[in-house]
Amino acid sequence: MEKRMKLGILGTGKIVQEFLPWLAGPDSPFQVQALCSTERSVPLAEELCRQYGIPQHTTNYLELLQWVDVVYLAVPNLQHTRYARVALEAERHVIVEKPMAPTAAETEALVGLARHKKVFLFEAVTTQYLENYNKIRELLPKIGTVKLVQCNFSQYSSRYDAFCAGEKPPVFDPDCAGGALMDLNVYNVSYIVGLFGEPNQVRYTANIERGIDTSGILTMDYSGFKAVSVAAKDCSSPARYVIQGTKGYLLQKSTANFCGGLTFHPNEGKEEHFNLNGGRPRQAAEFEVIARAIESGDQEICGRMQDTSIAVSRVLTVARRSAGIRFPCDR
């Protein structure tokens, strides 16, 4: 049996519970070796270990790093930089939940450290790895000159009512680097920047409550076309992603993190439908690409993904500050 790299996970939240059934299964490119949790989450962590056959559990992050080759960081946004830096210094490969870091400066520093240590650092943003997203890139020349891009990821948050009642869930807490831009619009920005690169200008107009954006509209100015990216956690809307060109348009009706089926609508001729993701969990392609890159030493794809992460982080930082939203790392 082929030996798989040992992966450790820091965190026990929803995203971990979503991908563990596949990641701990027979098709996974990793062996899930260990789980690290807070003291408060020990019962949940022990249950996850039992349910998915994970051999080791700890509440000590440094101990986790001793057991594994790769670490997946599934912690609140403001903690990404600290935990990633420790792992990179220990020469462990790192997969960090989106956004890679709260600010562009921190993202650039993490990438610089990973390159210095000659280890792999990836941002876990599923969009970039999905087969349908690669198909969009392939189809872009067919729509002619791009003129407009529209993205809408609006999802009423289960934590918004608690926020309105006076609580401060991390996703709505500026002290945790939360907000709609960093939680949902990051996917839209990654979607756009991954296809078209870094924009010339960025502006973010947000609905702000108690210092955090609960929803907002991000405009990105490119040479020759405009992109508009909407995200909301205080209201819902059907997902809609449209790339409009002089010869037709591309349409998706699913959020960027799933990047579901797409349709090419030419100005002349029949429309074409595509859905290449294969019905697997949305994280499957991501984990497979990352595992192959690490195992083969493919720094080219890692570097390309890091460059995209840096560009996305720059957009988010400029956008957030343009709306007057401040995080502890800005002080």
The CATH number of the domain holding residue 183 is: 3.30.360.10
> Are 211 and 82 in a shared domain?
no
**328 part of a folded domain:** no
* Strands of the chain, DSSP E: 5-10, 30-36, 56-58, 70-73, 93-97, 121-124, 146-154, 201-209, 212-222, 225-232, 240-245, 248-252, 262-266, 272-274
> How many folded domains does the chain comprise?
2
d(CA 295, CA 276): 25
**215 part of a folded domain:** yes
Task: Domain of residue 87: give its range.
Answer: 5-123+284-311
Start-to-end CA distance of the chain, whole Å, equals 52
> Are 91 and 230 in a shared domain?
no
> Are 154 and 264 in a shared domain?
yes
> Are 23 and 95 in a shared domain?
yes
> Are 138 and 228 in a shared domain?
yes
What is the chain's pLDDT, residue by residue, as a tens digit (331 residues)? 356 899 999 999 999 999 999 999 999 999 999 999 999 999 999 999 999 999 999 999 999 999 999 999 999 999 999 999 999 999 999 999 999 999 999 999 999 999 999 999 999 999 999 999 999 999 999 999 999 999 999 999 999 999 999 999 999 999 999 999 999 999 999 999 999 999 999 999 999 999 999 999 999 999 999 999 999 999 999 999 999 999 999 999 999 999 999 999 999 999 999 999 988 999 999 999 999 999 999 999 999 999 999 999 999 999 999 999 999 988 7
> Are 193 and 70 in a shared domain?
no
**In the chain, count of helices (H) and strands (E)?**
11, 14
**254 part of a folded domain:** yes
**134 part of a folded domain:** yes
**319 part of a folded domain:** no
Instruction: Choose among 266, 82, 233: nearest CA to 159.
Output: 233
> Are 147 and 271 in a shared domain?
yes
Contact 265, 248 (CB under 8 A): yes
